[in-house]
Amino acid sequence: MLKTILKIIGVLIILFLIALFAIPYFFEDQIKAKIAEAINEKVDARVTFSDVDLSLIKSFPNANVSLEQLVIVNNAPFEGDTLVSLGEVDLKMSIKELFKGKEEAINIDGVTSKNGLINIIFNKDGIGNYDIALKNKENEKGGKSDPLSLKIKNYSIANFKFRYFDEKSKIKMVIDSINHEGVGDFAAQKLDLVTKSTAKITLDMDKVNYMKDIALTLDAVLGIDLEKSKYTFKENKALINQLPLEFDGFIQMVEAGQEYDLKFKTPTSSFKNFLGIIPAAYAASLDNVKTTGDFTVTGSAKGLYSDTTVPKFNIEIASNNASFKYPNLPKTVQNIVIDTKIINETGILNDTYINLDKLSFKIDQDVFNAKANIRNITQNAIVDAALKGTINLANLSKAYPIKLDKALSGILNADVTTKFDMQSVEKSQYQNINNAGTMSLSGFNYVDENGKTMNISNALVQFNPSQVNLKELNATTGKSDISVTGVLENFYGFIFRNQELKGNFNMNSKQLAVDDFMTTAETTKTSSKKAEAMKIPAFLNCTLTAKATTVLYDNLTLKDVSGKLIVKDEKVTLENVKTSIFGGTIGVNGAVSTKGKTPVFNMDLKLNQVDIAQSFTQLDMLKKIAPIAGIINGKLNSSIKLNGNLDATEFTPDLKTLTGDLLGQLLSTTVNSSNSTLLTALGANLKFIDVSKINLNDLKAAITFKDGKVNVKPFDIKYKDIKATIGGTHGFDQSMNYNLKFDVPAKYLGSEANALIAKLSAADAAKLESFPINAVLVGNFTNPKITTDINSAVTKLTTQLVNQQKDRLVKQGTSALTDYINKNKKPSDTTKTATPATPATKEEVKAKAAALLNGLFNKKKKTEEPVAPEVQ
């Protein structure tokens, strides 16, 4: 019997579990339809959600409906703007709600959501994008009940962001990392809602930041009257950073906006309240901090917040003769006086004014004072401020737990007054800006997280109405020293309006090491460090005229560097930059830009009397362009135009992208062929040239390079009485393909040729032609492969010499034959008038030629009977 009961119970449990998983499939479509209907009947906007999921397990014994990716996008006049985006929304309800008919409303007991965004915008006409409720919808429905009914008992949101922007007043507020939950019975018209909230707030007004990631915490009981839309603060505890505040009063929704009647204050007057204002990231625990004096914050806000008005408010922050000392720190901050008011007496936002009537403190014997007044804040803020005093920077970390890797040192002195309005700053109307005074810094020492030091021995800034003059700046860092003077022309525009920082500076240095100004960053996967990608600041628009006795860059030492650098639009333009290096001088004009993803450059270089061997072995770029130049001793004049990409961290040329051309002239050169595998191999293949004695003086060559390939335009050189023409290409990878054409006199073509030439008369030897010899160089500079056509040239010469011998002998034989015939003519052949003898006829020559040639070539007997003359 017991087994039967257990089996039945087991079956029922299985059926129940199956039901929990199966039932949702029957109701998901119905729930999805009612949610879509509820939203579309209420709002004038485009609403989408990716899916609806119904679960009886997630919130058992209640049902849970999940909406994925709920997005509300505005219609005109905010067409396309996202009003609400929710990653997930969970609706909790009783399971019985699933069985209601299509015409019955479903009651929602709880709502949770996470990863949301609420984006509120007011345009220049004061219209808000959140007003998306459809008008008179109740009348159109004819009394039909809502598809959903909110009878919430609890709700929560996690990781929300609230953005607010008013185009007219230029107020921008972001409340980030919002986590909020509330418990209360919204089915009742009046209820107490118990809430817990945390968030971070940032506030900007017309490009001026007033709050940055200020942490907010509020635990409060709100008395809610749903009928009157009134929310009253009852029990509450708030923290702004670590500053405690208590609220009293109410906020009520009315037809024109929201009605405020609020008061707030610090629960105590301890000076620890002031330390609590400082963001936690820059402060330590307030436990065991010894304080004297008081610090209070009191305020009120009363009135209507609407499209045209704000509540009148008065916030007072005060402290008198206070002090504090942190445990384990040696210094005390004393004589602290704070008197600040933020007031609006009219309900018009622009009439708000801020008075910092006094801020003063003392550390040891150093006293610092400040005061300021800001008014007309939303239309054209007017600022009137003054700073006066001395701060020993070393004492800051000794009196307050500033989180610094390395301690600061130095004395800051200020005596500055300023009065200006934002429009004059924006329009550079310096006649409306009144600045005066000086600020100096001496003995400043700073060590960054990478161990690099910056030491400023003296710095002096003078404030004038139209300019901020850097009268003096003397600093050292690493191996470098710099001395800078100059003028900032748009200091306030840069500080308050994010405008360009304009200026003109002069810099002098005895030694400047470029590495001292490179930064490093930790890698993400290892503890090793790497150089950060260098970027030219976008906000800089200035000119720097510089002189440096020595500049250390990579492995180079540059002397007597001078020139002008123009920085603008993330680009540095170099004008007439000159330096002494490699025994000569180099002039540079060009530009470097980091505006794109990859830094790029273009340069025109003028090399004058530079040592060839040094420049073409120490500069990797020149080594790739002309690798063989490293074995040449002498001087070079050259003009080089080139452009390409730069390595983002080292700022050295990326040789794979190098494009340009070079025109050079060699001066007073000799060749050290023993250091060149190529020249050694060339000399072995071309016996007629001693490569160590090649004369390259005044040689001019033109080179172009692109995509890692170098093209050398054919040029001529002279070795003794041999002319050579050289041209071809090579790659930055050292591969090569060169053609050498030599015009070689015959005497250089070897012993066989010289033996033949020796048989010639001097006159005939002089008539010999020069012979072209071609050589082809391939392979690479360290392992060259050389082929020549010298053998065919020798064969050709031999043929020429043999032909010359035959021609000479034929001519000699013909002449001797003619003389022989003429000598044997009869006397009767002579005319009476004693005319010259008539030469032998062709027939006579032919008749006698064979006998003469036989005598010359067939070695006849020396004595032979003469042939009897023919009788005429």
Q: Is the pLDDT of residue 775 over 60?
A: yes
pLDDT digits (tens, 9 = 90+) for 416-446: 999 988 888 777 777 788 889 999 999 998 8
| pLDDT score recorded for residue 147 | 56
Residues 6+ apart with CB under 8 A from 67: 35, 49, 51, 52, 86, 88, 89, 90, 91
Q: Which of 103, 134, 136, 137 is nearest to 33 (CA)?
A: 103
Q: Is the pLDDT of residue 452 over 50?
A: yes
Q: Compute the distance between CA of residue 759 and CA of residue 781 in angstroms, rounded to an integer.
A: 42
Name the band, by pLDDT with cuts 50, 70 and 90, for residue 411: very high
Q: Is the pLDDT of residue 478 over 50?
A: yes
Q: Compute the distance between CA of residue 177 and CA of residue 262 in angstroms, rounded to an integer.
A: 25
**Would you say 449 and 423 are in contact if contact means Cβ atoms under 8 Å apart?**
no
**Sign of CA pseudo-dihedral 619, 621, 623, 625:** negative
C-alpha distances (whole Å) from 801 to each of 754, 761, 789 are 10, 12, 19
- What proportion of the chain, given as a percentage, has pLDDT over 90? 26
Least confident range from 565-574, 632-641, 803-812: namely 803-812
Q: Is the pLDDT of residue 265 over 70?
A: yes
Q: Is the pLDDT of residue 75 over 60?
A: yes
Q: Is the pLDDT of residue 334 over 80?
A: yes
Q: Is the pLDDT of residue 524 over 80?
A: no
Three-class SS of 620-675: HHHHHHCHHHHHEEEEEEEEEEEEEEECCCCCCECHHHCEEEEEEEEEEEEECHHH
Q: Is the pLDDT of residue 26 over 70?
A: no
SS3 172: strand
pLDDT digits (tens, 9 = 90+) for 297-320: 999 999 998 888 999 999 999 999
Q: List phi, psi (to 5°) of 36.
A: -60, -40
Q: Compute the distance between CA of residue 200 and CA of residue 175 in angstroms, rounded to an integer.
A: 5
DSSP state of 536: -
Q: Compute the distance between CA of residue 372 and CA of residue 387 in angstroms, rounded to an integer.
A: 9
The average pLDDT across 352-379 equals 92
- What proportion of the chain, given as a percentage, has pLDDT over 70? 76
Name the band, by pLDDT with cuts 50, 70 and 90, for residue 54: low
| pLDDT score recorded for residue 818 | 60
**Sign of CA pseudo-dihedral 7, 9, 11, 17:** negative
The average pLDDT across 818-822 equals 58
SS3 328: coil
Name the band, by pLDDT with cuts 50, 70 and 90, for residue 819: low
DSSP state of 133: B
For 691, the token pair is: 């490569």
Q: Which of 738, 714, 846 is nearest to 788 (CA)?
A: 738
User: Which residue has better confidence, 353 or 451?
Assistant: 353
SS3 374: strand
Q: List phi, psi (to 5°) of 688.
A: -80, 0
The average pLDDT across 851-867 equals 40
Q: Compute the distance between CA of residue 515 and CA of residue 651 in angstroms, rounded to an integer.
A: 11
Name the band, by pLDDT with cuts 50, 70 and 90, for residue 573: very high
Q: What angle do CA 841, 847, 849 make, to 5 degrees?
A: 100
Q: Which of 209, 328, 210, 306 is nearest to 252 (CA)?
A: 306
Least confident range from 324-328, 420-424, 442-446, 750-754: namely 750-754
**Would you say 683 and 652 are in contact if contact means Cβ atoms under 8 Å apart?**
no
Q: List phi, psi (to 5°) of 743.
A: -105, 95
**Would you say 160 and 118 are in contact if contact means Cβ atoms under 8 Å apart?**
yes
| pLDDT score recorded for residue 357 | 94
Which one of 422-426, 516-520, 593-597 scores highest in mean pLDDT?
593-597
Q: Is the pLDDT of residue 84 over 60?
A: yes
The one-letter amino acid code at 408 reads L
Bridge partners of 113? Answer: 89, 157
Residues 366-383: b if buried by 16+ CB within 10 A, e if exposed: eebebbbebbebbeebbb
- pTM of the entire predicted model: 0.63
Least confident range from 251-255, 295-299, 651-655, 699-703: namely 651-655
Which one of 331-340, 622-631, 827-836 scores highest in mean pLDDT?
331-340
The average pLDDT across 725-750 equals 85
Bridge partners of 219? Answer: 196, 237
Distance of CA 721 to the CA centre of its chain: 58
Which one of 164-168, 658-662, 868-872 scores highest in mean pLDDT?
658-662
**Would you say 547 and 566 are in contact if contact means Cβ atoms under 8 Å apart?**
no
pLDDT digits (tens, 9 = 90+) for 118-163: 898 888 887 888 777 665 544 444 445 555 555 678 888 899 999 9
Q: Is the pLDDT of residue 9 over 80?
A: no
Which one of 145-159, 406-420, 742-756 scores highest in mean pLDDT?
406-420
Residues 6+ apart with CB under 8 A from 327: 288, 289, 290
Residues 6+ apart with CB under 8 A from 871: 826
User: Which residue has better confidence, 553 or 295?
Assistant: 295
**Sign of CA pseudo-dihedral 553, 555, 558, 563:** negative
- Residue 177 gets the label, from left (phi > 0), alpha (psi -120 to 50) or beta, of left
User: Which residue has better confidence, 303 or 798?
Assistant: 303
82: part of which helix (H) or strand (E)? strand 82-94
Average pLDDT, the chain: 79
**Would you say 694 and 671 are in contact if contact means Cβ atoms under 8 Å apart?**
yes
| pLDDT score recorded for residue 868 | 38
Q: What angle do CA 618, 623, 626 make, to 5 degrees?
A: 140
For 133, the token pair is: 């409720």
| pLDDT score recorded for residue 808 | 67
Q: Compute the distance between CA of residue 182 and CA of residue 196 in angstroms, rounded to an integer.
A: 7
Name the band, by pLDDT with cuts 50, 70 and 90, for residue 833: very low
**Would you say 238 and 218 are in contact if contact means Cβ atoms under 8 Å apart?**
yes
Q: Compute the distance between CA of residue 518 and CA of residue 552 in angstroms, rounded to an integer.
A: 13
| pLDDT score recorded for residue 59 | 57
User: Which residue has better confidence, 753 or 303?
Assistant: 303
| pLDDT score recorded for residue 297 | 92
Name the band, by pLDDT with cuts 50, 70 and 90, for residue 690: confident
Least confident range from 190-204, 217-231, 443-457, 684-698: namely 684-698
**Would you say 705 and 686 are in contact if contact means Cβ atoms under 8 Å apart?**
no
Q: List phi, psi (to 5°) of 361.
A: -155, 165
Dihedral angle, C-alpha 781, 785, 788, 791, nearest 10 °: 140
**Sign of CA pseudo-dihedral 207, 210, 216, 222:** negative
For 420, the token pair is: 């200006």
Q: Is the pLDDT of residue 336 over 90?
A: yes
Q: Which of 493, 495, 471 is nearest to 483 (CA)?
A: 471
- E-assigned strands of 287-402? 290-305, 312-325, 333-344, 353-363, 366-375, 382-392
| pLDDT score recorded for residue 849 | 41
